[in-house]
Amino acid sequence: MCGIVGYIGSQQAVPLLTEGLTRLEHRGYDSAGLAVLGTTGLKVAKRAGRVRDLSEALPKRFAGKVGVGHTRWATHGPANDVNAHPHTDAKGLVAVVHNGIIDNAAALRQRLSDEGVELASDTDSEVVAHLVARSEADTLEGKVSDALSAVEGTYGLAVLHVDFPDRLVVARNGSPLIVGVGEREMYVASDLAAIVRHTTTVAHLDDGEIATVTASGFTTYRLDLTRTARDATTLDIDPAEYDAGEHESFMRKEMHEQPHAAERVLRGRLDERFGTAHLGGLNMDARETRAIRRVKILGCGSAYYVGQMGAALLEELARIPADAEAASEFRYRNPIIEPDTLYVAVSQSGETIDTLLAVQEVRRKGGRVIGLVNVVGSAIARECDGGIYLHAGPEVAVASTKALTNMFLGFALLALQLGRVRDLSIADGRRLIAGLQRLPEQIEQVLAQEDQLAELAGRLAGAESLFFVGRVRGFPVAREGAQKFKEISYRHAEAYQTSELKHGPLALISPEVPTVAIVPDDELAERNVAALHEIAARRGPLVVLTHEGVDLGGLPDGAAERVVVPRNERELDPILLVVPLQLLAYHAALALGHDIDKPRNLAKSVTVE
């Protein structure tokens, strides 16, 4: 949520910063801004709208070789030009870009205005610019340290000051901040995506760290300005992974990357000999694994829904009671943390603040948490006692696809390992391994049905309101399908248990309200089909995601469109039913002409509560 990029070196900063902001835009796209230090001092340009609007509106001679940029997702105050970052002090000496939330902003704003400072914006972030400007420290890092000693909350921030044109100072507490090392030039960013084309040699700041960055290097400190030892490391990353390539959107690229991403999360983790999985990163031996009596999964949005799929896998394969809960609600009900419960935090970004706070709540009470996380070294990954990296590669589209698929596979691996130290037989273990090995190719087969799904999506896009229904294993699939659909098509898509329709929502079924039904070939198929008849009898249009051979029981002609997905093992079928729902959502949004990668009101990583 919000993106930061900064540059200091011998090149003109503006093109580099603008490019960096464009690559960060998925993190927030309400407004954008730049500040540069040039020969005539500090210049700031900012405005509501997209980065391209900002670029088109930059004043002439807006130049400098030191600068910072920001792309915003509004928290405090509406998305307008004044609330956009960078924020400055009254004299225009200091410019600050900030990600995160300053919890005591109201008190600091009051204190500053009591001292005669006129605040220009509605934001929490502006206070930092005034606090830095008012500090009497004689170094910029000293001024930033002074300012931050008054601040409570989370931040990743970057500061420019006209009196210190040879440096920028950055700080981190709860919002990621990296320093990138170039050839006699340096970068800072909240996300590697912003700078990966220029350098892959980076240092990740820790919470509570400040860094002074000059064109020739960087120095890190704790908040009290005692030095810390932090080296940059060169990451083995292909910058092309951060481009959409020939695809018209990142979401489409990421959906089509799923077969390869799935291979990566499974690679080296399957043990056919013993019919189990090897997850060294859990940091638990067989005895500790056996001692687990319950599993509680914590995630938000799609990560929560895939957590429900994971809970079903754990119960079926390992016979351990498991459930998933929205991490955003968890800590507010003063949860009971039990020593023999394994807590599992699931997150693509590893930054989602609700999930991070839930992890901290568990750990504060002495519980053990493992993470299923995509972004290596992210806050949640670092906070957990162990975990499984998802290896999905960078995910840029706001709507999560390949990371979600790999989360499901991560849960399958976990369930296999936990199951095999309990009652799951070696034969069943091998059966599931064979199923997992078939999945990448089967995902490919589903993706090959894109034309059929696009045609169906075009029709669904015309409906103002839709149902997505499923039962037991199929219900979280329906929830994820509805989530994806509403997220990018802006249509009202409601997920329901198929069995619950007749207890109320059936009243809404009509020719104008289509239902997408999940009907796998499992023990509930007959009951699911009975519900389809109830919908068809009320002339509700139906799209049925099912397997070859499922008898839809003679639904009237034209009552239902059937989408057939390949069959795997029953426990693993849910993920093959999720993929067509991604394509449905994608093509509905495309038909409606929406910005697929940057849906309205949303942002990729939700770092505010």
Where along the sequence are the contacts to ligand AGP (CB under 6 A)?
A: 300-303, 347-349, 352, 355, 398-400, 487, 605-606
Nearest residue (CB) to ligand AGP, 34 versus 596: 596
Report yes or no: 175 and 99 within 8 Å, Cβ to Cβ. yes
Could you tell me the two tokens for 449? 């049905």
Minimum CB separation from ligand AGP for residue 299, in Å? 6
Active-site annotation holds for 604: yes
Active-site annotation holds for 365: no
DSSP 118: P
Minimum CB separation from ligand AGP for residue 350, in Å? 7
Angstrom distance (rounded) from CA 540 to CA 501? 13
Minimum CB separation from ligand AGP for residue 324, in Å? 13
Nearest residue (CB) to ligand AGP, 353 versus 529: 353
Nearest residue (CB) to ligand AGP, 199 versus 349: 349
Could you tell me the two tokens for 17? 């910063």
Nearest residue (CB) to ligand AGP, 71 versus 355: 355
Nearest residue (CB) to ligand AGP, 398 versus 588: 398
Give φ, ψ of 109 to 5 degrees.
-60, -45
Q: Could you say which of 2, 143, 296, 484 is catalytic?
A: 2
SS3 assignment, position 604 = coil
231: enclosing H helix or E strand: none
Q: Could you say which of 46, 65, 486, 604 is catalytic?
A: 604
Which residue is at the shortest CB distance from ligand AGP? 301
Give φ, ψ of 66 to 5 degrees.
-130, 135
Report yes or no: 29 and 73 within 8 Å, Cβ to Cβ. yes
Report yes or no: 290 and 320 within 8 Å, Cβ to Cβ. no
Angstrom distance (rounded) from CA 205 to CA 195? 16
Kindly give the interhelix angle for 426-447 and 258-266, rounded to the nearest 10 degrees: 160
Minimum CB separation from ligand AGP for residue 496, in Å? 19
Minimum CB separation from ligand AGP for residue 497, in Å? 20
Nearest residue (CB) to ligand AGP, 341 versus 406: 406
DSSP 153: B
Report yes or no: 239 and 245 within 8 Å, Cβ to Cβ. no
3-state secondary structure 419-442: HHCCCCCHHHHHHHHHHHHHHHHH
Nearest residue (CB) to ligand AGP, 121 versus 400: 400
Minimum CB separation from ligand AGP for residue 301, in Å? 2
Q: Give residue 123's identity as a one-letter amino acid code.
A: T
Minimum CB separation from ligand AGP for residue 165, in Å? 37
Angstrom distance (rounded) from CA 154 to CA 175? 6
Q: Is 564 exposed, middle or buried (0-12, 13-18, 19+ CB in 10 A)?
A: middle
Provide the residue count of the chain: 609
Active site residues: 2, 604
